[in-house]
Structure 1
Amino acid sequence: MKGQTITEKIFSAHCERAVYADEIIETDIDMVIGNDITTPLSIKAFKSIGATALAKPDNFCIVMDHFIPAKDIASANQARISRDFAREFGLKNYFDERDMGIEHALLPEKGLVLSGDVIIGADSHTCTHGALGAFSTGMGSTDLAYAMITGKNWFKVPRSIKVEFIGKPADKIYGKDLILEVIRQLGVDGALYQTLEFCGESIRYLSMDDRFSLCNMAIEAGAKNGIIAADDTTKEFLESRKQVNGGLRAQPKYYYSDHDASYSQTICIDISQLEPVVAYPFLPSNGKPISEAAKDELKIDQAFIGSCTNGRLSDLKIASEILKGNRVHTDVRLIVTPATQKIYKQAQELGYIDILIEAGALISNPTCGACLGGYMGILGDNERCIATTNRNFVGRMGAKSSEVYLANSAVVAKSAIEGKISDPRI
């Protein structure tokens, strides 16, 4: 049997036969994820064909995260559809305002997504969970409905691009910088319907938070999924979920690419030579090193730390270390959004929240809100924002004439102090 990539091995295990890139397969789904925007469409499709039962009720999860608490009457009515459905079917894994969080931070925290899983969600950044060594991808709401009814879905097994990171991370380099550099090199469609398999000696230096950020933005290069093979860091994280939450959803399964696996392309990046990367409008691929960006003297109106990409505890720690003893510039609004209630609570216990508030930051409840221009930080005409989010398309966070620059949490925190995009290494 010829060598297989980790993605091919996960699908092979689920299909109970060897499968390879470009094959069309139907496979069981281990976790189906919906949110308050996409799930109502899935529910409509589910009910329109007369379905009366979920194939795997304990493997279906709804997280209310985009417009929660509701920002207007329309979002309140939208949320009620999911709430009523969760109540009707007695969903075990339903998360609303009482235990809220952004789905791609909350599910790993709860131990609901595991190594070796096949995971789908009606949200493009479902690829985040590949950081745990799972195949995880975003699909449409009707695809979600199919999985709700059958417990399965169809895939074309993706080809893989090997992305090898070498060296020890340079100063102020995090997972966000690694993926922005990958996207800069590949472009926004350079990995179209392929797996970005992240590997190399540098992976051992990356925390789980960094790995989640790295896989989260695989879609921004057009990838079907991003994935990192499990190592001791992964296993320690999953073990900690077992201790905190009273047990994982199932036993993790670990798969690793063969040495003779086939790849469509190989990229090698020396992260010891990498600078923090800033993606200019209006594409995540429009990356520049911070030393160049700082020279442009780009004044900002808003700084945002949060989202499913960078709203984790380490991001709040990084920001608080930079902001401690400093003040946010008088012309800047700094919004900080912890990704989950637990992260919020931990940050409070560790003193990060006090530091951020004393510096002049506004702390919001866990929500996707500002990232997609939903609420809690919409940009006005011609305003400029430096953000830890994942997209900077035209009008992404508000007015079409506004600009969003993507960067890591250190860059955002330093820029908030200086009132312009600034180098945190200085």
Structure 2
Amino acid sequence: MGFFFVVILVISITGKDVILALAGYFNHDEVLNHAIEFTGDGVASLTIDQRLSIANMTTEWGALAGVFPIDSVLLKWLTTRAEYLKKRGPAGVPSDADASNRLDLQRVEVLKQNIPAADADAYYAKEIVFDLNKVQPYVSGPNTVKVMTSVNEMRRKKVKIHKAILVSCVNSRLEDIATAAKVVRGKKVAPGVEFYVAAASNEVQKRAEEAGYWQDLLEAGAIPLPP
């Protein structure tokens, strides 16, 4: 199944907004048991964090998998990541024992010379074009990601919030934490609201602390949870 993203994503929208929009617009099992290939001009405007959020949530949408192309954005990210891992060294985790599967610059160079891609005559069960300009901040539910409501509509309804949670693999990468920190910086969590935050990993939390994002959240009244 092919999904073609057209038009670049506006800067204020997140990868989570994109996947919630897709699940909300196409909510009649259009992707059920399909493997989705995301492509199109709009893909280049998506960061790796955004692509990870979208791909991770395709299974909640009903698909078997979601994949993005290996492009210059990904290759740059892989190179930067390989350089970081080389500088950092072992992290003191069990996977350190198997260096053969570790990302390094040599493996990135090999990938550059032989980039996997769909065959030119590949058959797709469905092809859907989606304009990223349609995306705005959404809230999903209740009970399913296939029901969505825009944040603007929620604001008009004056829905009361009791708990806010910034956690999970699709919500608490560094970009997500930075965005949340920007929103709450210099402000306080409203009385009667509990705001919980957990980074996607120890590494993400450390980087958020170094950038000052973590402190912004705590000063606003966020309650930290383990990564």
TM-score normalised per structure 2: 0.85
Contact 1:166 1:202 in 2 (8 A): yes
SS of aligned partner of 1:307: coil
Counterpart Cα distance in 2 of 1:198 and 1:349: 33
1:197 aligns with 2:52: no
The CA deviation at 1:212 is 0.4
1:276 aligns with 2:148: no
SS of aligned partner of 1:309: coil
The CA deviation at 1:265 is 1.2
1:174 aligns with 2:14: yes
Structure with greater proportional helix content: 2
The CA deviation at 1:171 is 5.2
Contact 2:3 2:38 in 1 (8 A): yes
Quick one: which amino acid aligns to residue 208 of structure 1? I
Of 235, 238, 245 in structure 1, the residue corresponding to residue 78 of structure 2 is: 238
Quick one: which amino acid aligns to residue 143 of structure 2? F
* Matched residue, 2:63: 223
Of 147, 168, 176 in structure 2, the residue corresponding to residue 286 of structure 1 is: 147
- Greater radius of gyration (CA): 1
Of 326, 335, 342 in structure 1, the residue corresponding to residue 196 of structure 2 is: 335
TM-score normalised per structure 1: 0.46
SS of aligned partner of 1:275: coil
Counterpart Cα distance in 2 of 1:194 and 1:273: 23
Contact 1:313 1:346 in 2 (8 A): yes
What percentage of residue pairs aligned between the two structures are identical? 30
Quick one: which amino acid aligns to residue 173 of structure 1? I
- Cα shift readout 1:240-282 (whole Å, capped 9, x = no counterpart): 2221223517834521223432111122111123211211201
* Matched residue, 1:86: none
Contact 1:195 1:223 in 2 (8 A): yes
- Cα shift readout 1:202-233 (whole Å, capped 9, x = no counterpart): 11111110000010101012111100011111
1:349 aligns with 2:204: no
Of 33, 47, 66 in structure 2, the residue corresponding to residue 207 of structure 1 is: 47
Counterpart Cα distance in 2 of 1:254 and 1:308: 27
Q: CA RMSD in A?
A: 1.7
Q: Structure 2: which 5+ runs fail to align?
A: 87-101
Contact 2:6 2:131 in 1 (8 A): yes
Q: Which moved more, 1:252-261 or 1:167-176?
A: 252-261
Q: Structure 1: which 5+ runs fail to align?
A: 1-160, 367-426
Q: Count residues with an aligned counterpart.
A: 206
The CA deviation at 1:237 is 1.5
Compared with structure 1, are the counterparts of its residues 248 and 188 closer, same or farther at alpha carbon in structure 2 (3 Å cutoff)? Answer: farther
Counterparts in 2 of 1:3-402, with a 5 A limit? 161-170=1-10, 172-187=12-27, 189-246=29-86, 248=103, 251=107, 252=111, 254-366=115-227
Counterpart Cα distance in 1 of 2:154 and 2:120: 39
Contact 2:8 2:43 in 1 (8 A): no
Q: Which has the higher contact order (CA 8 A, sep 6+)?
A: 2
Counterpart Cα distance in 2 of 1:188 and 1:299: 30
